[in-house]
């Protein structure tokens, strides 16, 4: 089988790592990628030792390219650099990516030279390496509306611009608990995610039609969804004896 991308690495930024809803979407994408012939791996920052950036800039001026922290970040970075496609997958926490994901991105500063270059309409740090870096965003959130992805959507666009990464697109899953409570509702979207994994590996791109299918609306009425979820929440409180 002819493939364009042979190595796909996903970073799942959920603190729940492989136990959450983000994982469900990531695994479907990777299943599609594997059936198209790619090797895949998932990395979980929550399970790795990645210390927050201290802003000391030792890595810029004293020991260029080497961070003062001795932890798992360089090993993670090496895997990302070897990948033909990196899937950045994060739940929405407080309208953005999780702390684990952001901490990982902050530490990218080590590998970025300090110098400023004006390019097009704004300033950047110099491009790192010759290899084309392809990236994709997967995100899930608790609320049922798609606007909860607005901030993360813009944030990843800027991050990818800074990295000069080629973006293959975004796949967003609101009302993520529905994947556990009523999986059938979201199954057509997950099938599209799987198809997207195959397309990415075979073609190096995902078609607009597939991305639209993956992002198809599946919550008819956010109020009805909220009411159903509230019943579940009350039930959980009763189960734990914190509500009568």
Ligand X SMILES: Cc1cc2nc3c(=O)[nH]c(=O)nc-3n(C[C@H](O)[C@H](O)[C@H](O)COP(=O)(O)O)c2cc1C
The DSSP symbol for 64 reads T
Name the residue with the smallest CB distance to ligand X.
20
Range 78-82, long-range pairs (CB < 8 A, 24+ positions): 79/9, 79/41, 79/43, 80/9, 80/11, 81/129, 81/131, 82/7, 82/9
Quote the tokens at residue 3. 């493939």
What's the min distance (Å) between Cβ of 225 and ligand X?
12
**Is residue 146 part of the contact set for ligand X (CB under 6 A)?**
no
Vertex 16 angle, CA 72 and 176, to 5°:
135
Nearer Cβ to ligand X, position 176 or 196?
A: 176
**Is residue 38 part of the contact set for ligand X (CB under 6 A)?**
no
Nearer Cβ to ligand X, position 5 or 30?
A: 30
**Is residue 148 part of the contact set for ligand X (CB under 6 A)?**
yes
**Is residue 22 part of the contact set for ligand X (CB under 6 A)?**
yes
What's the min distance (Å) between Cβ of 151 and ligand X?
9
Residue of 86, 92, 168, 214 that binds ligand X (CB under 6 A): 92
- Compute CA distances 56 → 53, 61, 111, 178, whole Å: 8, 10, 14, 43
* Chain residues in the site for ligand X (CB under 6 A): 14, 16, 20-22, 91-95, 140-143, 148, 176
């Amino acid at each position: 089988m002819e493939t364009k991308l042979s190595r796909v690495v996903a970073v799942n930024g959920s603190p729940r790592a492989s136990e959450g809803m983000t994982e469900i979407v990531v695994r479907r994408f990777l299943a599609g990628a594997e059936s198209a012939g790619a090797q895949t791996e998932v990395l979980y920052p929550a399970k790795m030792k990645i210390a927050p950036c201290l802003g000391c800039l030792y890595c810029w001026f004293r020991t260029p390219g080497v961070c003062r922290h001795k932890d798992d970040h360089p090993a993670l970075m090496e895997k990302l650099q070897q990948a033909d496609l990196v899937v950045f997958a994060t739940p929405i926490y407080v309208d953005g990516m999780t702390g684990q994901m952001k901490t990982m991105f902050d530490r990218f500063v080590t590998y970025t030279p300090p110098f400023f270059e004006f390019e097009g309409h704004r300033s950047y740090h110099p491009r790192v390496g010759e290899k084309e870096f392809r990236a994709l965003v997967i995100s899930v959130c608790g609320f049922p509306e798609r606007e909860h992805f607005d901030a993360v959507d813009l944030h990843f666009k800027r991050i990818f611009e800074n990295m000069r990464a080629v973006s293959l697109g975004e796949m967003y899953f609101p009302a993520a608990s529905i994947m556990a409570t009523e999986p059938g509702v979201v199954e057509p979207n997950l099938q599209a995610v799987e198809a997207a994994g195959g397309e990415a590996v075979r073609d190096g791109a995902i078609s607009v039609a597939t991305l639209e299918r993956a992002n198809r609306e599946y919550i008819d009425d956010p109020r009805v969804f909220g009411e159903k979820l509230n019943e579940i929440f009350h039930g959980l409180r009763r189960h734990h004896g914190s509500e009568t």
